[in-house]
Amino acid sequence: MKTIEPSPITPDMTLLDIVEKHPSAKEVFEKYDGQAGECILCYSLFDTLEDVIKKYRLDGERLLSELNAL
């Protein structure tokens, strides 16, 4: 029997899409709220991950790696 792998999270996905497909991603984003200086999901839910990484100057490789480890 073939196992269906979840699709990887990519920088062009919105945060809403990510959290909808991977509810546990909420905790990952919450870890970055302090660095961002505000609630990322509260203010950037409709932004792409790439835009959020640029806006808050986050470590994109690390964040993407954490999200794809879910």
Q: Where are the domains of the chain?
A: 15-68
Q: What does the pLDDT average to over 26-43?
A: 98
Per the structure block, which two tokens stand in for 29? 């984003």
pLDDT computed for residue 43 by the predictor: 98
Tell me how far the alpha carbon of residue 52 is from its chain's centroid: 9
Per the structure block, which two tokens stand in for 68? 């794809």
Q: How confident is the model at residue 7 (pLDDT cuts 50, 70, 90)?
A: confident
pLDDT computed for residue 2 by the predictor: 61
| Distance between CA atoms of residues 3 and 55, nearest Å | 37
pLDDT computed for residue 57 by the predictor: 97
